């Protein structure tokens, strides 16, 4: 590492782009950290290898060919100073916003940022004014006790229907707020255009839509509920929420921080739903960012991700001037731009078997209020088109052959295609599933515990069309149902468990073992690759911090036989 750091310092000291009086910069940074808990730094691009190392300590925000912009809390800033490189301190996005004003426009003009109390009142009013199609819920609470609010919009809002579920959320970075107002306006649009606009009506009738306009209220209202002028990227604990989720590569705590209240609440909420598709909104650029962020390799549905991302950007370009046309014509693969770990996009796509993108709406983190109406006009058609994509691909239900009213939570796999948890699952209520796919012909296998697998070949998919495929699985009465029928024994201790559980497996023969943790919706939330073991006792300590409290199935596949025990996570 030392020779890399030396090269990095030489690059910065000879490049001539960023040379600043470092004593003054450091003094300024420390004062800002004392007041705000975070500081924004700019420095020359050190190259991908060093940038990946730096991202473990500071939150990379924007990268171009020459410079990097990043946020640091106190610990991250001290780590950064160890590199002894030239940098400068940038103003926070809301520094020049007036904190008190007379003559506020009405909040429902959608051309002002609401106070926190106004936001809360707006969300309540949506439900009160549209009780048949809108339900207000609370995902959880922030570190400082502000509610994380979400609305569900549907034609039968109190029912769980056999429909795809969709989720929009904005501003998990508290100083990226254009999407906050736009999501409030989208809620209003869907509710008031129902029965008037055919696209809005179709979506409300056919999709269970969930919208969370503000995922980091403590960051947005850092200086108090009355103003967003002091908005911070981090939450009240100085943690970047979009680096705080379990990661497919870096594990349950990629940032070295405990899961924050906002993260835990969001994970619990999303695990309790069955979202087929989602997006989270940011600011600071104009681009649709698609998975993966953590891996250089591509998602199995990379062609589909590029297709829907281009549709979003192309639509925005068609209704704007010089907007969202950088990168690859408005889209980018996350890793190709710059790699992060702990992002919600990869968490949702990998661990929840969903399909999520991160959409950067504006080069201004806090869109000037005078430009909010323009930003809406650039994007609202893209919001609608993006949501509509959840209606396409292959949809259907999985039930029992002998009782078609009995839903079967099944794994739906594309043969020779799926990888890295890209398969999807049918739900346990209706057996409904939605497999979003780019146009082509596919072979699908449906498998569930206690049933014979069923494969359907040659299923044709067309873009902007829905292929219906209902499946009735036949029970396998001879299937091994537990450890008593196999020469293996599995025990879990402690159970119920909090931070960890010890798994003990007794093998009487050599075996190949793979571990799966399955939630009550039938989704795999953790898995390991098959590994060979000899006769004897295998002991494994399993960290459970990434799991929300609840019931799970610990499933071991041992030489093709399934061992299952229930685990209670406290």
Q: Write out the catalytic residue numbers.
A: 360
Give the strand pairing for 67-72 and 134-141. Answer: unpaired
Residues 6+ apart with CB under 8 A from 279: 167, 168, 169, 356, 357, 358, 359, 386
Residues 6+ apart with CB under 8 A from 118: 107
CA 121, CA 470: separation in Å to the nearest integer?
43
Q: In this structure, which long-range contacts are made by residues 443-446, counting pairs with CB atoms below 8 Å and at least 24 apart in sequence?
A: 443/414, 443/415, 443/416, 444/394, 444/412, 444/413, 444/414, 444/415, 444/469, 445/412, 445/413, 445/415, 446/398, 446/410, 446/411, 446/412, 446/413, 446/471, 446/473
Bridge partners for 134 per DSSP: 153
Closest CA to 413 of 447, 438, 439: 447
CA 423, CA 361: separation in Å to the nearest integer?
30
From residue 226, alpha-carbon distances to 262, 322, 369, 517 in Å are: 21, 34, 16, 44
CA 258, CA 467: separation in Å to the nearest integer?
43
Supply φ then ψ for residue 381, to 5 degrees. -70, -35
Find where tokens 């989270």 sit.
280
The tokens describing 74, both together, are 């106190």
- Cis amide prior to 269 (ω within 30 degrees): no
Find where tokens 């579920």 sit.
165
Residues 6+ apart with CB under 8 A from 540: 502, 503, 505, 515
The tokens describing 466, both together, are 């829905």
């Amino acid at each position: 590492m030392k020779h890399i750091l030396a090269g990095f310092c030489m690059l910065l000291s000879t490049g001539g782009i960023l040379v600043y009086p470092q004593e003054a910069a450091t003094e300024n940074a420390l004062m800002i950290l004392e007041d705000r808990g975070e500081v924004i730094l700019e420095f020359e691009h050190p190259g991908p290898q060093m940038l990946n190392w730096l991202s473990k300590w500071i939150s990379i925000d924007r990268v171009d060919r020459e410079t990097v912009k990043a946020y640091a809390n106190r610990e991250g800033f001290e780590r950064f100073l160890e590199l002894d490189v030239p940098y400068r301190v940038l103003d926070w996005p809301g520094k020049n916003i007036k904190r008190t004003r007379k003559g506020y426009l009405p909040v429902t003009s959608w051309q002002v940022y609401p106070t926190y109390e106004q936001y809360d009142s707006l969300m309540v009013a949506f439900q009160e004014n549209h009780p048949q199609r809108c339900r207000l819920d609370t995902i959880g609470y922030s570190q400082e006790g502000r509610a994380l609010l979400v609305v569900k919009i549907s034609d039968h809002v109190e029912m769980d229907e056999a429909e795809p579920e969709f989720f929009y959320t904005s501003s998990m970075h508290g100083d990226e707020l254009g999407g906050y107002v736009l999501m409030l306006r989208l809620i209003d649009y869907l509710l008031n255009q129902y029965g008037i606009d055919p696209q809005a009506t179709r979506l409300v009738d056919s999709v269970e839509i969930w919208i969370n306009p503000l995922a980091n209220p403590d960051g947005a209202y850092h200086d108090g509920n009355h103003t967003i002028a002091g908005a911070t990227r981090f939450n009240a604990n100085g943690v970047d929420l979009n680096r705080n989720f379990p990661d497919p590569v870096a594990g349950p705590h990629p940032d070295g921080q405990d899961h924050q209240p906002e993260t835990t609440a969001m994970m619990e909420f999303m695990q309790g739903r069955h979202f087929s598709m989602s997006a989270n909104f940011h600011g600071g650029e104009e681009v649709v960012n698609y998975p993966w962020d953590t891996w250089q390799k591509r998602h199995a549905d990379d062609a589909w991700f590029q297709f829907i991302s281009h549709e979003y950007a192309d639509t925005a370009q068609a209704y704007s001037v010089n907007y969202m046309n950088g990168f690859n014509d408005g889209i980018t693969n996350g890793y190709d731009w710059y790699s992060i770990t702990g992002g919600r996009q990869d968490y949702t796509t990998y661990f929840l078997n969903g399909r999520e993108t991160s959409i950067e709406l504006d080069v201004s983190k806090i869109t000037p209020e005078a430009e909010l109406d323009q930003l809406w006009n650039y994007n609202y058609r893209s919001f609608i088109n993006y949501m509509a994509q959840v209606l396409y691909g292959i949809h259907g239900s999985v039930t029992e052959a002998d009782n078609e009213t009995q839903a079967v939570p099944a794994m739906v796999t594309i043969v020779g295609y799926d990888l890295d948890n890209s398969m999807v699952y049918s739900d346990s209520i209706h057996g409904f599933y939605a497999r979003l796919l780019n146009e082509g012909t596919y072979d699908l296998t449906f498998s569930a515990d206690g049933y014979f697998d069923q494969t359907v070949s040659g299923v044709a998919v067309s873009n902007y069309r829905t292929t219906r495929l209902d499946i009735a699985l036949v029970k396998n009465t001879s299937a091994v149902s537990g450890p008593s029928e196999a020469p293996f024994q599995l025990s879990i201790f402690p159970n119920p468990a909090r931070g960890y559980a010890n798994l003990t497996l007794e093998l009487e023969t050599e075996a190949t073992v793979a571990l799966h943790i399955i939630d009550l919706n039938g989704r795999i939330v953790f898995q390991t690759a098959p590994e060979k073991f000899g006769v004897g006792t295998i002991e494994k300590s399993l960290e459970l911090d990434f799991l929300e409290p609840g019931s799970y199935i610990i499933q071991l596949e041992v030489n093709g036989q399934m061992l299952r025990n229930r685990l209670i996570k406290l």
